[in-house]
Amino acid sequence: MTTASEVIARPPTRLDLVASAMRPLDIPRANRIYVNRNLRLDKIEMVGFDMDYTLALYNQPRIEELSMRATLHKLVTAKGYPEAILGLAYDPTLAVRGLVIDRENGNIFKPDRYGFPGRARHGLASIDREHAVDLYQGERTRLSNRRYAWIDSLFALPEAVLYGCLVDYFDRHQLAGKPSYSTIWENIRECIDLAHRDGSIKTVVGDELAGYVERDDALAETLHKFRSSGKRLFLLTNSAWDYTSRVMSYLLDGAPKRVGESSTPAPYPSPYPSWRHYFDVIVVSAGKPEFFTEEHTFVDLDAGGEPLRKASAGPFQRGRIYMGGNIKDFQERARASGDRVLFVGDHIYGDMLRSRKSSNWRTAMVLQELEHEVTTHDRIRPELSRLDRLDAELIHLDGELNERQVALRALQKIEDDPSTDEPVSAAKRTIKEAIEKLRRDLRAAKIQHRTLESSIFCRPRTESLPAFGSPKRR
């Protein structure tokens, strides 16, 4: 394995030290790393990365629309859907991570932390709260039931948008033999998988990388710093070798110079003549989550991505490309295991959950949308605080109203009891007046709450929190 000293091109210059000293110590909240358990990086020996949505961040609106267009084409050609659906508009504000698809009713909703739906839509039409309560709160909503499907990654957002659009389309067009809501979902899943398998999506992305992949100028420097601190790095991606090579080359080959580094040729060879030199181990077509649960063998690939006749054994060889494999063999051949490995990914199930259940690897999850949500939350904090106060006022008014109504019923019982002649008319009149005032105040507070809530959560995606929920309700 390559040591840290072998990858450090030169010691820090004065310009490096000055630039480092000028960086603000108070990192903006939107750029911070958030933890729910202590992590000692000095104990980590090996750091691994997924590629898609982790090292390679996509232009989300463009990649989502491309996925939707490719899937619509498959629905028309493979499933016999009407060609008119090819004209459906794509609206990226219709989906966020964490949505649930109700396949039986054609609904999409955002559950709270207890699994109860908050905002909900049927197709593209909003469902009022009273109707949502009737649908889902009469009995426990078991989200593990096959009736429901989770939208748990950015990769799946086009599926939710497309489902809403198609439910709306077929509701508005009474066509003979139209599919059921459940069938629509199954067809979407089949066709979007087909579009990924046959290259309909990745071929376009690979040909137009600058339009679909956002190049981060700090990526090369970040990987270099990991290596300079003695960490070994590995790439573990489900993408095939040809696509992986094109994307990683776009991200890292010809990366910007480090701070203070001259643009003139250096007298020493670069430690990173290609993107492959940043990593000690490269695994493509890993097949996660099966990589963590099954025992597929590693296949050695040549530079063109073709399998070699003879598989290697023993420790991984730096510069060699591997395909498939499993976590048990990986740990043996990489000579790193347990909590000495940190894996960074974006998929809560394929990257995070399965790796934690199958090993003691430490994990870090990239939430691409969190930066926008934290920034927006900080900007509209006064409005959110006012919404909290209105929430508290509604609870208080509702409690007061219930108490007055209980008191009124008690007075009515006294008045109806023939064995008592206690006068209660004046007291009843006073309580009735109080009840009417509370009802007026409650109606006014509800209007204020609804108006403020709409102004916060129904703005364009670039200006506000997504329309399906707020951080507080997640």
Q: Where are the domains of the chain?
A: 36-57+216-258+269-368, 60-207, 372-473
Which is it for the CA torsion 318, 320, 323, 329, positive or negative? negative
In 3D space, the residue among 317, 234, 226 whose CA is nearest the CA of residue 282 turns out to be 234
Q: Does the N-terminal peptide bond of residue 289 adopt cis geometry, omega within 30 degrees of 0? A: yes
Q: Quote the pTM value.
A: 0.78
Which is catalytic among the residues 16, 42, 52, 388? 52
pLDDT string in tens for the chain (474-residue length): 444 444 444 555 556 556 665 666 678 888 888 888 888 999 999 999 999 999 999 999 999 999 999 999 999 999 999 999 999 999 988 898 889 999 999 999 998 877 788 789 999 999 988 888 888 877 777 878 889 999 988 889 999 999 999 999 999 998 888 999 999 999 999 999 999 888 889 999 999 999 999 999 899 999 999 999 999 999 999 999 999 999 999 999 976 544 444 444 544 456 788 999 999 999 999 999 999 999 999 999 998 889 998 888 899 999 899 999 999 999 999 999 889 999 999 988 888 888 888 889 999 999 888 888 888 888 999 999 999 999 999 999 999 999 999 999 988 888 888 777 777 888 889 999 999 999 999 999 999 998 998 888 765 544 544 545 443 332
Domain 36-57+216-258+269-368 CATH superfamily: HAD superfamily/HAD-like (3.40.50.1000)
168 class by beta-carbon count within 10 Å (0-12 exposed, 13-18 middle, 19+ buried): middle
- What is each CA distance from 427 to 82, 293, 393, 418, in whole angstroms? 68, 71, 26, 18
In 3D space, the residue among 98, 148, 146, 101 whose CA is nearest the CA of residue 121 turns out to be 101
Identify the residue whose tokens are 């089949």: 190
Cα–Cα distance measured from residue 270 to residue 154, given in angstroms and rounded to the nearest whole number? 36
- Provide the CA 276 distance to its chain's centre, in angstroms: 28
Whether 302 is catalytic is no
**Backbone dihedral region of 324: left (phi > 0), alpha (psi from -120 to 50 degrees) or beta?**
left
DSSP state at residue 424? -
In 3D space, the residue among 119, 156, 165, 117 whose CA is nearest the CA of residue 468 turns out to be 119
Whether 52 is catalytic is yes
Which is catalytic among the residues 16, 50, 91, 421? 50
